[in-house]
Amino acid sequence: MATVNGRRAAMVLAIALAGAAALPLSASASASASATTATAGNTALVSQIAAHLAQAKGIRAQFTQTQTLAAMKQPLVSSGALLFFRERGAIWQIDTPYKATYVITDAGVTQLNAAGQRVSTRSAQGARGVAQVSKMMRAMLGGDLSALYSQFDVQADGTPAQWRMRLTPNQPQIAQAIKSLEMDGGDYLQGLRITLANGDVTKLDFINSVAVAEPTPAERSLLGAP
């Protein structure tokens, strides 16, 4: 059960957004859709949010994930630490209720056990959509929301200091899997709520976020950097 839950913890965005990532986009189509959907929301605020999020090259934060699944009577709760680098990928380190580490890059997803030993590796080719989702996830957390506009209608409110955004699929293929994505934050992303079409909900809360310029040598190795 721990392995299954851990895989969900690290792969929830990949699972939720796999349909979206599988849709190829041309630059012109993306720009056109961006203009249309941005007009429907608060264009200026969305631009300011993106600028705030893009200020950090990398982010280190603590997270708590709560999954409410139709098949489970009680929510599944896990917590740990996240290292995110827009150009390289993300490292999810789960501390409770067990210890495991998941490394997500364009190449795929690698799982490490509590001793730091590699347990499994799923290549981008072997896990449908992982490479594309990794790029989309990093773009979103890095402040580049243009990639989402062609697939989601974006609504925003608040101020750059404290904002909220709701993304609703505008493509039937995506809507079959995802009902909505809701985000809130300030200079950093503070909360992400993913509601799937089947009613399952995953909520991620991020605290103690700090900008980091470079990963440690060990982290660079995990992310496949020289």
Domain 56-223 adopts which CATH fold? outer membrane lipoprotein receptor (LolB), chain A (2.50.20)
- pTM for the whole structure: 0.75
Q: Where are the domains of the chain?
A: 56-223
Q: According to the model, what pLDDT value does residue 210 have? A: 92
Q: How far is CA 56 from the centre of its chain?
A: 16
Give 100-145 as a 3 state SS string.
EEEEEECCEEEEECCCCCEEEEEECCCCCCHHHHHHHHHHHHCCCC
Per-residue pLDDT at 78 exceeds 80: yes
| Residue found by looking up tokens 């404290």 in the block | 162
Tell me if 58 sits within 8 A of 83, measured CB to CB.
Answer: yes
Backbone angles phi, psi at 224, to 5 degrees: 80, 20
Tell me if 40 sits within 8 A of 154, measured CB to CB.
Answer: yes
| Residue found by looking up tokens 């699972």 in the block | 15
The pLDDT tens digits of the residues spanning 121-177 come to: 765 554 444 555 556 666 665 666 666 677 788 889 998 889 998 988 888 877 888
The pLDDT tens digits of the residues spanning 5-41 come to: 444 444 454 433 333 333 333 333 333 344 444 444 4
What percentage of the chain reaches a pLDDT higher than 70? 69
